[in-house]
């Protein structure tokens, strides 16, 4: 949504595709869509990218020039219980999009990968040229596979392609199954927060506007072959084909407890913390090295944790119609209020 909004505001025509499935709150998805349909240059199609015929027809009918592929089945833990959904969306769907690019002379294909590809590689910070051959979640494995598929199309069909490894995106309109929404909801309801690995986790929390800015900068500069590519000592982040890989992160890993404190400060409330051990599929820390991204696309000043969390909390309170938390909301008032999934947002 944020990326589409950015492109629309600068005057681009945007064609959006989403199956609007019920993995999380469909009302949230519909309300995002409502914000985008206010723009005349936005067209939307409701179908699954795993539907090859629909994807092919979309490319043929709309004169698409560039593609930002953000569609995927997200979530590390959900992949442990429903793996086939990830194969359909993240692999079959991706190949359908790549086929559309191949047959329609797409100028640049930008693929949203993930920091999850680093998996068991514990070297910090994560550099795009590091080995990512040991993902520890099915979700991470599908994203690594997506990078490989993208490179093969870049090599075979000379398709300029860039893979972006996003690090822990957060911000307004964010998914309700992600930590910022889960934590904010629990604090407001006076319920405990599950804090895994006893709070000793670190995440490179990256505000959504920073991610969008980098994504569009990359989109506007199609990948080129690397003339210095050495096939006897290959760099995984570049190629003899028009293909590149970059990290997109804040370069400032934050302790989970520090992130919770920022939400507490924004709400004016204190969290109840339930300290738990590490979960299967989780990594101890994520930390993006974005040196090559900045070298090639210019520097930008990322949002501070305080600013990003404050903007998210302001949106959350407004969207879910929560009254001012600084008015000493009592537990009885909170209990009487239907929060989050139950309320009907504006």
**Contact call for residues 111 and 142 (beta carbons, < 8 A):** no
Which residues make Cβ contacts (< 8 Å) with residue 253, sequence separation at least 6? 124, 202, 203, 204, 285, 286, 287
The DSSP secondary structure of 95-138, one letter per residue, reads HHHHHHHHHTT-SEEEEEEEGGGGTT---SSB-TTS-----SSH
**Contact call for residues 136 and 283 (beta carbons, < 8 A):** yes
Residues serving a catalytic function are 139
Whether the ω angle into residue 291 lies within 30 degrees of 0, i.e. cis, is: no
Q: Which residues pair with 162 in a beta bridge?
A: 110, 244
**Contact call for residues 23 and 341 (beta carbons, < 8 A):** no
CA gyration radius, the chain: 20
For 143, the 3-state DSSP assignment is helix
The DSSP secondary structure of 280-294, one letter per residue, reads TT--SB--B--HHHH
DSSP label at 326?
G
Q: Which residues pair with 207 in a beta bridge?
A: 170
Q: Which residues pair with 203 in a beta bridge?
A: 254
Measured distance CA(134)–CA(131) in Å, rounded: 8
Which residues make Cβ contacts (< 8 Å) with residue 148, sequence separation at least 6? none
- Which structure tokens are listed for 262? 């920022």
For 64, the 3-state DSSP assignment is coil
């Amino acid at each position: 949504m944020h990326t589409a909004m950015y492109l629309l505001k600068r005057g681009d025509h945007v064609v959006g595709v989403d199956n609007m499935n019920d993995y999380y709150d469909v009302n949230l998805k519909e309300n995002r869509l409502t914000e985008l349909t206010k723009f005349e240059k936005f067209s939307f199609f409701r179908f699954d990218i795993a539907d090859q015929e629909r994807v092919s027809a979309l490319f043929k009918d709309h004169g698409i020039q560039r593609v930002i592929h953000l569609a995927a089945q997200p979530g590390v833990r959900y992949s442990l219980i429903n793996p086939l959904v990830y194969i359909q969306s993240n692999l079959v769907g991706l190949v359908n999009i790549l086929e559309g690019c191949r047959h329609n002379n797409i100028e640049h294909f930008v693929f949203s990968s993930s920091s999850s590809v680093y998996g068991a590689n514990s070297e910090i910070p994560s550099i795009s040229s590091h080995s990512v051959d040991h993902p520890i979640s099915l979700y991470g494995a599908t994203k690594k596979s997506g990078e490989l598929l993208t490179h093969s199309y870049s090599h075979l069909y000379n398709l300029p392609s860039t893979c972006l490894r996003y690090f822990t995106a957060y911000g307004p309109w964010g998914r309700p199954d992600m930590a910022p929404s889960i934590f904010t909801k629990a604090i407001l309801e006076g319920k405990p927060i599950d804090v895994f690995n006893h709070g000793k986790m670190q995440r490179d929390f990256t505000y959504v506007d920073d991610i969008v800015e980098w994504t569009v900068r990359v989109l506007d500069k199609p990948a080129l072959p690397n003339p210095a590519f050495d096939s006897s000592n290959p760099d995984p982040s570049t190629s003899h084909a028009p293909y590149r890989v970059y990290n997109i992160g804040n370069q400032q890993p934050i302790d989970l407890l520090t992130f919770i404190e920022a939400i507490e400060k924004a709400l004016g409330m204190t969290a109840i913390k339930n300290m738990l051990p590490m979960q299967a599929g989780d990594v101890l820390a994520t930390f993006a090295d974005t040196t090559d991204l900045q070298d090639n696309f210019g520097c930008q000043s990322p949002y501070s944790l305080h600013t990003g969390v404050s903007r998210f909390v302001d949106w959350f309170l407004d969207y879910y119609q929560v009254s001012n938390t600084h008015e000493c909301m009592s537990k009885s008032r909170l209990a009487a209020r239907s929060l989050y999934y139950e309320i009907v947002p504006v």
